[in-house]
Amino acid sequence: MRETQVFNRNAKKKKQQRSLKANHLTKEMTKEVVICLCFCFAGDESKVGLLKGFPYAEERLHLFEADIYKTQEFEQPIQGCQIVFHVATRCSTLLAIRYCGIYYNDTIEATINAVKKIADVCIKSGTVKRLIYTASVVAASPLKEDESGYKITMDESCWTPLHINVPYSNNYVEEYTEAKTKAEQEILKFGEEKASELEVITLGCGLVGGGGHLPYTTGSVMVLISQVINNPTQYHLLRYLEELLGKIPIVHIEDVCRAHIFCAETPLVNGRFLCSSSYISSVEMAKYYQENYPQFHLNQEFLEGPAREIKWGSTKLEDKGFSYKHDMKTILDDCIKCAKRSGNV
């Protein structure tokens, strides 16, 4: 089987993407599949050397340099593939203008166009049967449209009401949230309209923690350890997620990769799925660190916060047969191990 994986160049997201593709490839390379990996620095050995060192990489891994805003560059790697993993699309408008010579009104428009273009190439190939789009839980806020609070549960029926002002927000997270929400809605609509030609799956991942194969700490792990390292910027991102989503959905990088593979291999799977093994408050997180890592001093403000009754209601992945290997404890423990290894704590 042939599959293509699509990654982009966004500086704020590239570390998490490299972590995902590195962990994903270690699982896929042992199978009888040929992987075509598309990203903008295929010739940079400092960035692809790790991937080339995986078992079976020489015969099964093919690297392509492609710009996500130049559709024609994806036609060759996608041609002949049965499955496409679209792991990320977001690229700032300035980067799109600078590197692609393409002008968009804003990042949201650029993100939506990129998603649609990849889907169009999949259908044009005549061989791709399934497109798996890596979405984000920021698109699934359980906030009520009338701003009266949160719904009882967070699940796949939730869509983020973009008109609500969320505490701890800034221009970047607002733009990111709107882009991911509208892009996921667009690709799901595309999947409904082209159901006879392409199966579309969106996998809305929680805040990704755990270790990995990279020699540095990813941005999402830095958010998860923000209370330990007392980083206000990262902590505000953590609190933004909590205010947007009621609590914080977290998931281990290994489970994220396993979920992607599960969606590729399981028949009769399509539509929207959320991917998170734990749904916790920032206070629960801080208390876990305080109790299990007493060597780290946590500010009192981290141990105080809202107590919400909202529950995690998504079981769609599990109903199809998927099971998570990592709970809150192992996710946070592996975040600390990763940060220690990288010298961040």
Could you list the active site residues? 180
CB atoms within 10 A of CB 308: 13
Instruction: Determine contact, residues 140/185, Cβ cutoff 8 Å.
Output: no
Give the sign of the dihedral formed by CA 68, CA 69, CA 71, CA 72: negative
Length of the chain: 345
Q: Which token pair is 77?
A: 């790697």
Q: CA–CA distance from 79 to each of 72, 126, 267, 338, 344 (Å)?
A: 11, 8, 22, 37, 42
Q: How crowded is the C-beta side of 291, counted as CA atoms within 13 Å?
A: 9
CA 129 to chain centroid, in Å, comes to 22
Cα distance between residue 141 and residue 107, in whole Å: 21
